[in-house]
């Protein structure tokens, strides 16, 4: 085998640029690590460094040259030019009037299949007598700083201290709108029995923020983790492929991103996390379906990043891939809380409902803080079925 080195002017320039970029990232990471150790919150929020993450991901068959990619092709990216920035500055994705927020009453009884939407991708799920909290972000901003960055468009329905006992904190990936330093740190203290289940590499961030290693369960695509609860109950979490990317600073795709199937003795639920459309969800349905309900991302789509977030119509298609012939409820998430794209605030729902109706897919849309029992489709989250219309 022979190898050749590109010695053309363009090749040398590319190699020099790559070297400078790597050096710049290394220097930046070193500086932020130092600041984090001194207690600077915005530096701590960046999470673990590349070397720490590598110890959590080593040996994964899905790593390519030290980074993860999608099954469809390489890792997804956001291709946003200045026109996108200008459009976002016009705030087309903000509600025109205040968003109604309910105060949930969790009670002492844990249901067979009940959900409370806390905004964006944060959902308190009760399934087969155990509680699972997905992608908890209860801070005002999804950003390394609480001074700048995307701010909530409605108050959080609860504080961390107001949550009931949680068995599992389930994380899809490490972007700021899905993994929040302040929320995680407080959960680790106020929920001492909770276990954290996350894709490969994300555990490095959790450990850097003080979560004890024996409370962290990590999984690669198609791996499963079982968490035992009280009275012989247990849930199995299967880490499934998604089409997305990861990163909290300059380095991208060092940690894995995932969707999840949560299975109890009687019930199954799909949590999409963040994803673009992929035919690989049919395999998820074949292996692990059908499910009783799906928490499906429906917002923050844009033509500038078509393979990063599904459109509402694609969300319905993914739901059908996972559920098969079973009548299963779709609960939309990842919309209405943070302004992360150019579409109007309520558009994810006004597009989702006709797409779901065309395929006879049941949909429930609770307001923030709204609770719905999915077994009989009752609860305060359904008291005002068209609640978003007054805010749009």
Instruction: Answer for the pair 346, 389: CB distance below 8 angstroms, yes or no.
Output: yes
Residues 6 or more apart whose Cβ sits within 8 Å of residue 74 = none
Single pTM value for the model: 0.89
- In this predicted structure, the answer to whether residue 324 has a pLDDT above a threshold of 90 is no
Residues 6 or more apart whose Cβ sits within 8 Å of residue 323 = 270, 285, 289, 290, 291, 294
Average pLDDT for residues 357-383, to the nearest whole number? Answer: 97
Q: At what angle do helices 312-323 and 281-288 cross, to 10 degrees?
A: 30
Tokens representing residue 66 in the block: 């030290």
Confidence of residue 370 (pLDDT cuts 50, 70, 90): very high
Confidence of residue 23 (pLDDT cuts 50, 70, 90): very low
Which residue has 């080195």 as its token pair? Answer: 5
- In this predicted structure, the answer to whether residue 325 has a pLDDT above a threshold of 70 is yes
For 73-77, 203-207, 267-271, 358-362, which range has the lowest pLDDT when averaged over its residues? 73-77
Average pLDDT for residues 272-290, to the nearest whole number? Answer: 97
Q: Which pLDDT belongs to residue 92?
A: 73
- In this predicted structure, the answer to whether residue 66 has a pLDDT above a threshold of 60 is yes
CA 311 to chain centre: 16
Average pLDDT for residues 50-61, to the nearest whole number? Answer: 97
Whether 76 is covered by a domain: the verdict is: no
Beta bridge partner(s), residue 260: 239, 271
Give me Rg for the CA atoms of the chain. Answer: 21
Transcribe 43-100 into DSSP letters. HHTT-S-HHHHHHHHTT-TTEETTEE--SSSS-------HHHHHHHHT-TTS-SSPPP
Confidence of residue 38 (pLDDT cuts 50, 70, 90): low
- In this predicted structure, the answer to whether residue 29 has a pLDDT above a threshold of 80 is no
Instruction: Answer for the pair 111, 126: CB distance below 8 angstroms, yes or no.
Output: yes
| Strand ranges (E), the chain | 63-64, 67-68, 113-117, 123-127, 130-134, 168-170, 195-199, 216-219, 224-228, 234-240, 259-263, 268-271, 293-297, 329-333, 371-373
- The per-residue pLDDT for range 136-181, each reduced to its tens digit, is 999 999 999 999 999 999 999 999 999 999 999 999 999 999 999 9
Domain CATH for 381: 3.60.15.10
- In this predicted structure, the answer to whether residue 282 has a pLDDT above a threshold of 70 is yes
Whether 16 is covered by a domain: the verdict is: no
Confidence of residue 2 (pLDDT cuts 50, 70, 90): very low
Burial of 356-390, coded b for 16+ CB within 10 Å and e otherwise, reads beeeebebbbbbbbbbbbbeeeebbbbeeeebbee
Whether 210 is covered by a domain: the verdict is: yes
Whether 84 is covered by a domain: the verdict is: no
- The CA–CA distances, whole Å, from 326 to 268, 292, 314, 322 equal 12, 8, 19, 10
- In this predicted structure, the answer to whether residue 27 has a pLDDT above a threshold of 70 is no
Domain count, the chain: 1
- In this predicted structure, the answer to whether residue 21 has a pLDDT above a threshold of 60 is no
- The per-residue pLDDT for range 215-272, each reduced to its tens digit, is 999 999 999 999 999 889 999 999 999 999 999 998 999 999 999 999 999 999 999 9
The sign of the CA dihedral 340, 341, 343, 349 is negative
CB-side neighbour CA atoms (13 Å) of 141: 11
Full residue range of the structural domain in which residue 226 is found: 113-390
- 320 three-state secondary structure: helix
- In this predicted structure, the answer to whether residue 24 has a pLDDT above a threshold of 60 is no
Q: Which pLDDT belongs to residue 80?
A: 53
- The CA–CA distances, whole Å, from 102 to 50, 83, 116, 140 equal 40, 36, 10, 17
Whether 304 is covered by a domain: the verdict is: yes
CA dihedral angle for residue 278, residue 281, residue 283, residue 287, rounded to 10 degrees: 160
Average pLDDT for residues 308-327, to the nearest whole number? Answer: 95
Q: Which pLDDT belongs to residue 40?
A: 74
Instruction: Answer for the pair 274, 244: CB distance below 8 angstroms, yes or no.
Output: yes
């Amino acid at each position: 085998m022979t190898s050749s080195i590109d010695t053309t002017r363009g090749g040398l320039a590319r190699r020099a640029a790559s070297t400078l970029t790597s050096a710049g990232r290394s220097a930046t990471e070193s500086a932020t690590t130092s600041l984090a150790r001194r207690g600077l919150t915005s530096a701590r929020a960046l999470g673990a460094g590349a070397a720490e993450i590598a110890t959590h991901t080593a040996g994964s068959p899905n790593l390519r040259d030290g980074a993860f990619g999608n099954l469809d092709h390489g890792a997804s990216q956001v291709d946003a030019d200045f026109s996108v920035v200008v459009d976002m500055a016009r705030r087309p994705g903000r509600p025109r009037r205040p968003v109604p927020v309910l105060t949930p009453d969790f009670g002492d009884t844990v249901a067979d299949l009940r959900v409370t939407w806390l905004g964006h991708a944060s959902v308190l799920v009760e399934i087969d007598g155990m509680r699972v909290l997905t992608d908890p972000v209860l801070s005002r901003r999804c950003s390394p700083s609480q001074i700048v960055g995307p701010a909530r468009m409605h108050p959080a329905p609860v504080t961390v201290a107001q949550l009931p006992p949680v068995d599992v904190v389930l994380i899809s990936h490490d972007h700021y709108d899905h993994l929040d330093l302040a929320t995680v740190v407080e959960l680790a203290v106020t929920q001492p029995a909770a276990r954290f289940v996350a894709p490969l590499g994300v555990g490095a961030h959790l450990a850097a923020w003080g979560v004890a290693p024996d409370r962290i369960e990590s999984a690669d695509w198609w791996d499963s983790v079982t968490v035992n609860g009280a009275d012989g109950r247990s849930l199995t979490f299967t880490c499934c492929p998604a089409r997305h990317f990861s990163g909290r600073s300059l380095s991208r795709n060092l940690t894995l991103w995932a969707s999840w199937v949560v299975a109890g003795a009687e019930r199954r639920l799909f949590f999409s996390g963040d994803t673009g459309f992929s035919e690989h969800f049919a395999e998820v349905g074949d292996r692990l379906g059908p499910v009783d309900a799906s928490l499906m991302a429906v917002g923050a789509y844009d033509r500038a990043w078509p393979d990063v977030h599904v459109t509402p119509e694609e969300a319905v298609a993914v739901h059908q891939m996972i559920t098969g012939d079973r009548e299963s409820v779709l609960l939309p998430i990842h919309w209405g809380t943070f302004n992360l794209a150019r579409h109007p605030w309520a558009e994810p729902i006004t597009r989702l409902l006709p797409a779901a109706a065309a395929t006879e897919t049941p949909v429930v849309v609770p307001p923030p803080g709204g609770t719905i029992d999915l077994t009989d489709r009752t609860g305060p989250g359904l008291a005002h079925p068209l609640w978003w219309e007054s805010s749009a």
